[in-house]
Structures are given as C-alpha cells and as structure tokens.
Chains A and B, each alone.
Chain A
C-alpha cells in the first residue's frame, strides 16, 4: 500500500495507511484475543482534568519517540456530555503517522467515563487498564469482547513511594501489554522529573516496573503487540511549538499576546526562550493591546508577532487596518478553534478564513498563510516573517486546534537552522536614506514605487524621522484627502500583492496521481488525514493539492478544469475555501465539510471520497 506520489517535498515522508500485519489467534489464560498482531498501536489515557493526563501521555509519547517510533498524538479536552473528561491519545508506528483513526487498542481509564467516551473506538480485543480498587471504579463494566486489566495502580504507586505516581504505574502496565521495552520509559521519566531530583526519577522508574510486573504476573499471556524499536532519533513537538521555534529562528524578538486556547502554547513556548536571544514576551491586558504592542515593536524595527484565536482576532481587527495602511510588517498567528463567539473553545474548526481575508473595515491587502503540517508551521512562520518585511504587510499565519495541540515526531533535520534565510526587504540605513528624501529633506516612508514597496527606516536612522498614520496619507505619511494622492496610495498598497505574485512561489503541495480524475483540494491541517485516506483508497486514484497560500494564492484553474471530481475538504460548515476556488475558477466544486468540532479522520475521509466519486459515476 504505497502512496502514489506527485511532488513530495524532500522533507516530507510518505505516510502509509494503517498497517495491520500478520494474523494469529491467541489463547492466553481466560482471554481470547482478537486475531491480529499490531505493528502500530492506538493508545490512550483518559480521566478527569487535573489527573495529569497530559503529562503522562507526553511521557509515553516521548518514550516511543526516543525508541525510534513515529508518534502522532491528539487530545480530547472536554466532553460531548459534560465537563471534566480529558484524554491524551497516541498513534504510533515505525512509519510516519499523521492522522488519527477510529480505533483504540489500549486504554488506560482513570475514570469509568473514560471507557464510555471511547466505546465507539474500542474494538474486540482492546485492552482496558483500570484500578478496580478505586471506589469510583467498582462498577466498571468492561465489554465482554474486550480485555479488562484490573491493576491496583494507586496501591502499587504507594509501594513505589507515592500515590501521585499511579499514572506511571499504568504506563508500566501498558508497556507490558504492548510488549514495549520498559527501559524506553526511563529517559522520558528523566526528562519529565529530572529537575525534581534523583529520588523522584528513581521512584517513578520503580512505579513503572511495578505496573509491568503486576501485569506479567497476573495476566500471563501475549497480547499480540510487538512494538518494534529503531535507532532513529526523532523530535516530538506540536504546531504551536513549531510556530514558536520558527519565530525565534526567523529573528522574531517581540511577542505580545493574551492567553487563549489553542494559541497560548506559542506564548508559553516563547516565554523563557526568546529572552535568551535578546527578545521579550509581553502578556497584554487584552488583544486590543496585544496587536498594538506588537505594532509598536515592529515600528521600532523588531521582527514582531502576536497570536490569538477567533475571539481575539475579532478584537485585533480594530487595529488590523492600521497595521496594513501604515505598511508595518507584522505576523499575526491565528490558531483557529470552533466558533462563533466563544463557540467550542477546545474543539477543531477552520471557520475564520473569511474573517482573515475580509476582516476590518475599508480595503487593504493582507497575506494569509496556512501551514499544512506541524513541520510546515515552522517553515511557514519563517516565510511569514520574510513576506511581512519584504512587502511591509500584516501576515496572518493560521493554524488550527488539531495541529496546534497535536504532537508529532519528525527527523530533527526537518528543522534545519542552517537553512534559515532572513530577508528584510527595503530597509534603508544611514548610507542610503538620502535617496529617499524629498527636495525638502523629508523621508518618503510611503513612496509610491514601481513595485509598491517603500523604503523602511528604523527609528534611530539619521534623517529618517517620519510619521505615519491610520488616516489616508501622502508619501511622507501625512494626512491627505487629495484625490490623486489617495488613488496613488491605494494602488501602491495593492501593487505589493501583484509584486509578490510575480516574485514568490505560491505553489500548492501536491500528492498522489497528477493525472487522476479526482482532485482533492484542501487547506490547513487536513493534509495528513487526506494522505492517509488516499492510501486506503486502492480503487480511486486521487490527486491532492494542499494549499498553504490562501492570499495571495495559486491559480488552480487548470487543475480544477482537468479533473472530473473536485472535492474541497475543510473543517467548517459553509465551505469558505471552496467559495474561493469557485470564485477563482468559475467552476462548481463538491464540498466535504466537517464541523462537529472533531478533526478529520483518515477512514471517514476515505469513505467520503469514495462516496462522492461513486455518486458522480451514477449520475453520469
């Protein structure tokens, strides 16, 4: 099941479908086990918020990654029913994984509800690890076709030195179930608890071993998993971290933000790190302030950034026009979640495309970049800073919840710092400022040049002093209502977009069969799930164009005209990207929309694509 490839960038790995290899019937003790042997594993730990779910999940993810296995994680924050439930899910394989599937093989359930929440994903032979000695777990009812492992997590943790380590006991038990060498946990535990002292690390290692031994002694059998390890060294990071690291790599020195899920991780990542590179993070009093703080830093010449999610974008739209009309380079990260209003704050959504394209009164060019993978979050952040400065525009860098808070493994070379190039555009210094003075020695900060880009003098540059304003202004940055000057300034700002189109490569990422009749178009984080869906679709050959440049964007007319079925996949109800494609190409497209708040899954996308194509065949 190898993916047919179009132009796959070198740094991207081809992802296989769910690989289910081998088949063997197991009789072990009183269990009859689902007759498959898994090379990949879908694992989860779930409980109440505050149970340390996230950090335990991360320890296991890191252990897998250190053992040379690929990992893709996802999080369930809140419930379909009521608050409190949270889970950390891991999909791991030797080959790269970049999507979630509807399957759960091993579940550590700290609460009864964790089992209920995951019933749809659990299957015959799934293993559920729980602590039957807990009062709340007395009534646990493990479905007959599944395997319940009742492990006294808390008691064993106490034996190891403290009840607080019960999740780590569970990790040890899970290692035994998955036949994953427990030594791999050691380094991850060191990383997590190292700063708390040797004793704590050792206690945790002991706790894990107690969990492992308990399963070995009490449930003596082979669960059918054999998690192969490799010598590969991977790094494990989420989209927000990739954006933060990209920002530092790009020379960003100033970040202002107001906490909001799922963008906060960017600010938290930068805090404590950017300072080491001479920068600062300011926690603003609100997003109105955040964007103005970032604007001020950018006017001072710093590479500057702010970040938020939908509700914050609403507030920032007040100042967006000011940033754009003063031609200030600024990167605004919009990590989308589900709206409108407060919506579903911890759920996936790609609903703010129109807001980014059209938000703010008046007409003003802006750039919108939408990285399609976690690694691309890093690369596109660097590109966003370069574009912002080269064209002196605000750049929306938009990720979404499912990418922002999802950890994924990569080869470290993917984040090659030596390859980073900084392009600052038309910055003038003491030497060349003179070229840009008018006959009275005044700096022409908004000079209407041929390419639309004006010179930029950082404060402190001799003879460069100038003002700029949100009022319509002349080339000196001073207020005007002169008709000719107004038209000239509108056109010069607009011209920057044309210049960028000419100079930059705003190409989509292409996968699959370039000659396929079925064309799938998407933007943002859906790329991975679609690629895995394609690998499942033996009978339908698909060409995928995954578009990271929303504005300015590539012209997809030829591709759309050449295809029989054009399917546009996005996580919103109305099809905002599909609207753009129809507007650009004057062709009708089919829409695959998901707005449940849950990310696209490979299996369901495969079914959707299959259905859509079948429907066309019937009507023909």
Chain B
C-alpha cells in the first residue's frame, strides 16, 4: 500500500491558522512525509494531539485522531496502541503540554516503551496562551509571567527520557525539512517508544530561540563520531548545555515494545456477541 499513499493524503482540507513562519508547519510536513514514506495509511493511523498551538495539528492532518485534554495526549496514545497494535500511533504536542502539565505521563510513557512515536514541538514558550514561560524556557528568558527571567533551570526532556529508560531519543529542527523527516521516520520505524523533540520556533512570542539562533548553533550528530548505540555518549551529549545537537542521540537496538513483551496480538475491538469462550470457568473459580 505504501506506493499509492502520498504525503498529502495525510493533510486535511482545513487550512492551518498558525502564524506565518511558525515552526509547526515544517514539523507537520515532516510528520506527514515520514508517515507516508513508512507505508502508513490515514485509515490505519491514529494521531493524538495535545493542547496548544502545536495541538492544532490534529485538525490539519487527516487520519483517525483525537485532540484531547491539555497534557494527557500520551496516555490516550498508549491506550490506542495497546488496544490495537496494528495501528500506527503518533502523539504530538507542545513543550508545555508534554514537559509541564504532562511531564508525569512522559516519564511513564517512556518506561512502558509502547511502540508509538512522540513528537514534541518545542518552541520554549507557551504559544496558544500568548507568551508565558514554558518548562524549556531559558532561565533568563523574559516573558509576561517572568519579567526578570524564570530564575529556574529549564527542564531537559532528553535527560528525563534517558534516565527513564528510553529506547529512542532524537532531536530535530523543523526548518531542516529533510533531516526532520528522516528523524521522525526513524522514530516510527523504531520498535518501541520513538521520542523526537523538535525545535519548532514560535515567531510571535519567542525572540530568543529563533530560526537564526538554531541555525547558528545546531550541530548535526551525523557530522560527529556520535555512536547512538552508546548510552554514555548519549548522556554526555544530552547533558552538554553548550550545544544544540540534532540527530538520533540514543537508540537501543534490543528494544522490546510493550505489546510484544505483554503478548498482545491484534485488535481488542473484535469481540463475540456473547460472553467469550471460557467465561463459565470464571464462575467455577468462585466455588
């Protein structure tokens, strides 16, 4: 089926209302391309979107989709995938959605290693609510709620992921279309929880983490001798706060995804018209 699905099949007929120049355009395009390149079909794909400017992606893409409650996208995606491992499940949201209100779920989703892809459009700001500090905002970043800077260190989501036992951690940049698509594709192909943090600049509320800033500071791991199979190297890169690396930081080739580990096969949607065979044994247990 892969050959006859074009990436535009994943596009809905709703025109995005993101600000012109918003990083989320590039992030979304890469996701659609990666989905089609990996042979997926909108009728067999489930997208869960968070709440935020980023979360609007659920409306602009075409697939089965749920746009849920702020911060809870990961549990929804986890439930979808466990109930039907045949579906391609993708979860997308913002840095506030994933690393602030939803950070508890992030850790546990990583631990469960369900075979799905999590794309975070990290603009280091709350876009939808018009420019408050986010958990990834820099310490000295001045916003309406942090006029003198946040005065707290930013969350390092890749470090959280690594310490929670992540099996795939990548960083991409929305305006490097080819590389971003490639990284999302690798996350989709990964057998387990594929986590991609995307620098997806907010042109309206963040004048610090701009396209120019990222272009000037990004180092592609492909241009280094980074070994993504090495936990220690991943740790060093992730904790290196002087550089903005993109690429696959860490991948565990021995990853066993949740459904395989738990022996879940096929969709749970198919059930008989009556009680399942063997149900009477449940009653006998109570003798």
**A349-380 near B? 1/0 per residue, CB < 8 Å:** 00000000000000000000000000000000
A293 and B273 alpha carbons, distance in the complex (Å): 25
Closest CB of chain A to B230's CB: distance in Å?
29
Residues on the B chain within 8 Å of A233, using CB: 287
Task: Please determine whether B105 and A285 come into contact, CB atoms closer than 8 angstroms.
Answer: yes
A460 within 8 A of B: yes
Task: Please determine whether B80 and A300 come into contact, CB atoms closer than 8 angstroms.
Answer: yes
Closest CB of chain B to A161's CB: distance in Å?
27
Residues on the A chain within 8 Å of B46, using CB: 299-300, 459
CB proximity to A under 8 Å, residues B75-99: 75-84, 86-87
Among B104, B264, B282, the one with the most A-chain Cβ atoms within 10 Å of its Cβ is B282
Closest CB of chain A to B41's CB: distance in Å?
9
Residues on the B chain within 8 Å of A296, using CB: 48, 66, 75-83
A303 and B275 alpha carbons, distance in the complex (Å): 13
A417 and B79 alpha carbons, distance in the complex (Å): 28
Q: A301 contacts which of B13, B67, B83, B283 (Cβ < 8 Å)?
A: B83
B269 within 8 A of A: yes
B267 within 8 A of A: yes
Task: Please determine whether A465 and B42 come into contact, CB atoms closer than 8 angstroms.
Answer: yes
A15 within 8 A of B: no
Residues on the B chain within 8 Å of A466, using CB: 64-65
Closest CB of chain B to A270's CB: distance in Å?
11
Closest CB of chain B to A473's CB: distance in Å?
9
A280 and B63 alpha carbons, distance in the complex (Å): 25
Q: B276 contacts which of A251, A459, A464 (Cβ < 8 Å)?
A: A251
Task: Please determine whether B279 and A249 come into contact, CB atoms closer than 8 angstroms.
Answer: yes
Residues on the B chain within 8 Å of A276, using CB: 278
A301 with B268: in contact, given A276-B278, A293-B75 (CB under 8 Å)? yes
Residues on the A chain within 8 Å of B216, using CB: none
Task: Please determine whether A297 and B79 come into contact, CB atoms closer than 8 angstroms.
Answer: yes
Closest CB of chain A to B281's CB: distance in Å?
9
Task: Please determine whether B67 and A468 come into contact, CB atoms closer than 8 angstroms.
Answer: yes
CB proximity to B under 8 Å, residues A423-470: 440, 458-470
**A402-420 near B? 1/0 per residue, CB < 8 Å:** 0000000000100101101
Closest CB of chain B to A557's CB: distance in Å?
37
Closest CB of chain A to B272's CB: distance in Å?
7
Residues on the A chain within 8 Å of B265, using CB: 278
A455 and B71 alpha carbons, distance in the complex (Å): 28
Residues on the A chain within 8 Å of B48, using CB: 296
Chain B: CB-nearest residue to A413:
B283
Closest CB of chain B to A369's CB: distance in Å?
19
Chain B: CB-nearest residue to A233:
B287
A318 within 8 A of B: yes
Residues on the A chain within 8 Å of B282, using CB: 245, 248-249, 273, 417
**A283-323 near B? 1/0 per residue, CB < 8 Å:** 01110111011111111111110000000000000110010
A601 within 8 A of B: no
A408 and B236 alpha carbons, distance in the complex (Å): 60
Q: A300 contacts which of B72, B262, B267 (Cβ < 8 Å)?
A: B267
A302 and B270 alpha carbons, distance in the complex (Å): 8
Closest CB of chain A to B12's CB: distance in Å?
8
Number of interface residues of A (CB under 8 A): 71
Closest CB of chain B to A191's CB: distance in Å?
8
Closest CB of chain A to B138's CB: distance in Å?
29
Task: Please determine whether A322 and B79 come into contact, CB atoms closer than 8 angstroms.
Answer: no
Task: Please determine whether B283 and A280 come into contact, CB atoms closer than 8 angstroms.
Answer: no
Task: Please determine whether B274 and A420 come into contact, CB atoms closer than 8 angstroms.
Answer: yes
Closest CB of chain A to B260's CB: distance in Å?
13
Residues on the B chain within 8 Å of A299, using CB: 46, 64, 66, 76, 79-80
A470 with B271: in contact, given A277-B276, A280-B82, A415-B283 (CB under 8 Å)? no
Chain A: CB-nearest residue to B67:
A469
Task: Please determine whether B275 and A459 come into contact, CB atoms closer than 8 angstroms.
Answer: no
Task: Please determine whether A463 and B43 come into contact, CB atoms closer than 8 angstroms.
Answer: yes
Closest CB of chain A to B50's CB: distance in Å?
11
Closest CB of chain B to A463's CB: distance in Å?
7
A164 within 8 A of B: no
Q: B64 contacts which of A278, A280, A465 (Cβ < 8 Å)?
A: A465
B224 within 8 A of A: no
A236 and B283 alpha carbons, distance in the complex (Å): 9
A417 and B46 alpha carbons, distance in the complex (Å): 34
Chain B: CB-nearest residue to A289:
B75
A293 with B79: in contact, given A465-B62, A467-B67, A468-B66 (CB under 8 Å)? yes
Closest CB of chain A to B245's CB: distance in Å?
29
A250 and B271 alpha carbons, distance in the complex (Å): 9
Task: Please determine whether A253 and B83 come into contact, CB atoms closer than 8 angstroms.
Answer: yes
Task: Please determine whether B268 and A279 come into contact, CB atoms closer than 8 angstroms.
Answer: yes
Task: Please determine whether A459 and B87 come into contact, CB atoms closer than 8 angstroms.
Answer: yes
B219 within 8 A of A: no
B: interface residue count bin: 35 or more
A299 and B67 alpha carbons, distance in the complex (Å): 12
Task: Please determine whether A280 and B274 come into contact, CB atoms closer than 8 angstroms.
Answer: no
CB proximity to A under 8 Å, residues B110-156: none
Chain A: CB-nearest residue to B46:
A459
Residues on the A chain within 8 Å of B75, using CB: 256, 284, 288-290, 292-293, 296
Residues on the B chain within 8 Å of A462, using CB: 43
CB proximity to A under 8 Å, residues B44-77: 44-48, 58-59, 62-69, 71-72, 75-77
Q: A470 contacts which of B42, B68, B84, B273 (Cβ < 8 Å)?
A: B68
Closest CB of chain A to B25's CB: distance in Å?
19
B108 within 8 A of A: yes
Task: Please determine whether B280 and A417 come into contact, CB atoms closer than 8 angstroms.
Answer: yes
Task: Please determine whether B76 and A467 come into contact, CB atoms closer than 8 angstroms.
Answer: no
A282 within 8 A of B: yes
A8 within 8 A of B: no
A251 with B271: in contact, given A241-B286, A296-B83, A297-B79 (CB under 8 Å)? yes
A290 and B274 alpha carbons, distance in the complex (Å): 27
Task: Please determine whether A293 and B64 come into contact, CB atoms closer than 8 angstroms.
Answer: no
Task: Please determine whether A469 and B275 come into contact, CB atoms closer than 8 angstroms.
Answer: no
A254 within 8 A of B: yes
A65 and B287 alpha carbons, distance in the complex (Å): 8
A471 and B14 alpha carbons, distance in the complex (Å): 15
Q: A235 contacts which of B71, B278, B283 (Cβ < 8 Å)?
A: B283
A440 and B12 alpha carbons, distance in the complex (Å): 12
Chain A: CB-nearest residue to B265:
A278
Task: Please determine whether A440 and B272 come into contact, CB atoms closer than 8 angstroms.
Answer: no
CB proximity to A under 8 Å, residues B156-180: none
Task: Please determine whether A293 and B78 come into contact, CB atoms closer than 8 angstroms.
Answer: yes
Chain A: CB-nearest residue to B108:
A285
Q: B87 contacts which of A253, A300, A319, A467 (Cβ < 8 Å)?
A: A300
Chain A: CB-nearest residue to B87:
A459
Closest CB of chain A to B266's CB: distance in Å?
7
Closest CB of chain B to A472's CB: distance in Å?
12
Closest CB of chain A to B36's CB: distance in Å?
14
Chain B: CB-nearest residue to A249:
B275
Residues on the A chain within 8 Å of B80, using CB: 296-297, 299-300, 459
Residues on the B chain within 8 Å of A417, using CB: 274-275, 279-280, 282-283
Task: Please determine whether A292 and B271 come into contact, CB atoms closer than 8 angstroms.
Answer: no
Closest CB of chain A to B59's CB: distance in Å?
6
**A38-75 near B? 1/0 per residue, CB < 8 Å:** 00000000000000000000000000011000000000
Among A249, A440, A459, the one with the most B-chain Cβ atoms within 10 Å of its Cβ is A459
A297 and B79 alpha carbons, distance in the complex (Å): 4
Task: Please determine whether B274 and A418 come into contact, CB atoms closer than 8 angstroms.
Answer: yes
Q: A478 contacts which of B59, B72, B82 (Cβ < 8 Å)?
A: B59
Task: Please determine whether B105 and A319 come into contact, CB atoms closer than 8 angstroms.
Answer: no
**A465-490 near B? 1/0 per residue, CB < 8 Å:** 11111110000001100000000000
A286-B104, A295-B76 known; 5 new pairs, CB 8 Å cut-off, are: A292-B79, A293-B76, A300-B79, A459-B84, A478-B14
Q: Can you list 5 A-B pairs, Cβ within 8 angstroms, ordered by A?
A: A245-B283, A256-B79, A289-B75, A296-B75, A461-B43
